[in-house]
Amino acid sequence: MSSHEAVIVGTGFGGMGAAIQLKRLGIDDFVMLEREDDLGGTWHVNRYPGLAVDIASVTYSYSFEPNPWWSHWYARGPELKKYADHVATTYDLRGHMRFGQVVEGARWDEDARQWEVQVAGAEPVRATYLVTATGFLSQPRLPDIEGVDDFAGTVVHSAKWDPAVDLGGKRVAIIGTGATAVQLIPELAKQAGHLTVLQRTPIWVTPKLDRAMPKRVQRMFAKAPFTQRWARRVNTSVLELIMVAGVLHYRRAKVFNRGAERIAKRHLRRQVADPELRRKLTPDYSFGCKRPTFSNDYFRTFTEPDVDLETTSIARITPTGISLEDGRDIDVDVLVLATGFDMWDANFPAISIVGRDGKDLGRWWRSTRFQAYQGIAVPGFPNLLSLASPYSYSGLSFFTTIEAQMKHIDRLLTEVRRRDARTFEVTDPANEEFLGWVTERLGDSVFALGSCATARSYYFNQHGEAALLRPTSTINTHREAERFPLDDYSYV
Ligand code: NAP
């Protein structure tokens, strides 16, 4: 059985960020276990037509590894995969990665003070530190619709896109109108003979200020990196305004939230003249209850002659198509499921994690409350850095979260070494205080005070709590990562 200082589960941007941080701390004895056949996480797995980032690339990238050569302000999927490859090479991470390794679980061995990580069909791996970087949106969800397995045509989930699927001239139906569908629908419409969009809940969509990155701007970013840092700062501030003012400080700053709703409604009016179609596409829940989306061609697509928006509920899926609750049938050749990911049942945590005294993380979260100190550590789980945890996601760009977690790891492991300790574990009081603090702050947010009942948002868990996003500014998140009291952990 191999034994290492650390095991990182996942080779997406979260896992790579943690690996870079370990290297900065001088820890080189670690392996990165990845269930897929290549690195990049989301950006390796997702390949659907139209895939792009919807946070500007100057912000959606590591601040310490800027890429001046983005082809667009919002990079397309393959370009992000290339960026992930570049980061892995630049920071010498590839040698640590093992692909096709499905981690089934991890168990804390109190005697050895190590984690034992079980890998399907392989020897377990032992490590002093366990870092789970399994992402938030990594377990695709199939819709709980009767007959979904009976469909005789082609079925494809957006997260398991098969480029060989031929859409040309076909009768295509797509279930779902989340952020993925907002990108997919305009592309499907270009290829399909006829497209039916089955919408259960409409989504807020605002314009996307996207265009090709002019060559002279690329050259300027390359020659004078401070200009790109400045662009990042401006863009991050806008995102911060949306998130902090519009969502988290809803009690005092409703005006920003309403402003965002007005922008989205004006965007819809500009693209769709038919008032009935507009009504169907207009959400009845507050902006921010669900992750808002950005697109310049989503609404317009519904005005095309071969595209139908269907809002009647689905009764069942049949071998030939979809039966609706009102008795109508839609004949379908290709069924696209843009039905998202299972976060609260399958992803928190994504693998079985058993800590001290047999404490099972998933069972504990479900039977008490979803919680993690600073969104990264849990009492009863020594030497575990759980990156995809409740209350960890800060701001709108995932990189804000990753880089704050890197700072947390830096401070914590530096202290572990200073004390010449073998284990760290967050204390119960520190964890409870953090949970109380985020709970109180959420009371001011759109999740508590807005009208979210009809949003069906994955921000909310099965207990009705919005336990995904950290309800603070990203400035606060980073400050806390650099200054949290070191005595919030016990060290042995
Ligand atoms: P999602 O937001 O969870 O949307 C899933 C969609 O499927 C919803 O419209 C949902 O309807 C529908 N659905 C699920 N089960 C259904 C059922 N049984 N019957 C009818 N409709 C059903 O998933 P997603 O669109 O894949 O997006 C997930 C997240 O990925 C986004 O919020 C975003 O964070 C991320 N993302 C990011 C980008 C980017 O560019 N950065 C792009 C794509 C995705 P209800 O709303 O009624 O449940």
Residue 458 Cα to ligand 1 middle (Å)? 8
What atom of ligand 1 comes closest to residue 455's alpha carbon? Answer: 46
Residue 252: predicted pLDDT: 86
Please tell me if the CB atom of residue 53 comes closer than 6 angstroms to any atom of ligand 1. yes
Name the residue at shortest CA distance from atom 24 of ligand 1: 340
Please tell me if the CB atom of residue 231 comes closer than 6 angstroms to any atom of ligand 1. no
Name the residue at shortest CA distance from atom 29 of ligand 1: 179
Residue 456 Cα to ligand 1 middle (Å)? 10
Residue 395: predicted pLDDT: 87
Domain 2-139+342-491 has CATH 3.20.20.60: no
pLDDT in tens, the chain (492 residues): 899 999 999 999 999 999 999 999 999 999 999 999 999 999 999 999 999 998 999 999 999 999 999 999 999 999 999 999 999 999 999 999 999 999 999 999 999 999 999 999 999 999 999 999 999 999 999 999 999 999 999 999 999 999 999 999 999 999 999 999 999 999 999 999 999 999 999 999 999 989 999 999 999 999 999 999 999 999 999 888 888 888 889 998 888 899 999 999 999 999 999 999 999 999 999 999 999 899 999 999 999 999 999 999 999 999 999 999 999 999 999 999 999 999 999 889 999 999 999 999 999 999 999 999 999 999 999 999 999 999 999 988 999 999 999 999 999 999 999 999 999 999 999 999 999 999 999 999 999 999 999 999 999 999 999 999 999 999 999 999 999 999 999 999
Pairing of the two strands 489-491 and 424-426: antiparallel
Residue 89: predicted pLDDT: 98
Residue 457 Cα to ligand 1 middle (Å)? 9
Please tell me if the CB atom of residue 181 comes closer than 6 angstroms to any atom of ligand 1. yes
479: part of which helix (H) or strand (E)? Answer: helix 474-483
Please tell me if the CB atom of residue 137 comes closer than 6 angstroms to any atom of ligand 1. yes
SS3 220: helix
Residue 270 Cα to ligand 1 middle (Å)? 24
Comma-separated ranges of CATH 3.50.50.60 domains in the chain: 2-139+342-491, 148-209+236-337
Residue 51: predicted pLDDT: 96
Name every residue whose Cβ is closer than 8 Å to that of residue 446 and which is 6 or more positions away in sequence: 246, 247, 248, 250, 257, 286, 287, 288, 289, 452
Please tell me if the CB atom of residue 46 comes closer than 6 angstroms to any atom of ligand 1. no
Residue 331 Cα to ligand 1 middle (Å)? 23
Name the residue at shortest CA distance from atom 23 of ligand 1: 340
Residue 477 Cα to ligand 1 middle (Å)? 27
pTM of this prediction exceeds 0.85: yes
Residue 45 Cα to ligand 1 middle (Å)? 16
Name every residue whose Cβ is closer than 8 Å to that of residue 23 and which is 6 or more positions away in sequence: 91, 92
SS3 127: strand
Domain 148-209+236-337 has CATH 3.50.50.60: yes
Residue 282: predicted pLDDT: 98
SS3 120: coil
Report d(CA 154, CA 317) in Å as an integer.
13
DSSP 344: T
Please tell me if the CB atom of residue 292 comes closer than 6 angstroms to any atom of ligand 1. no
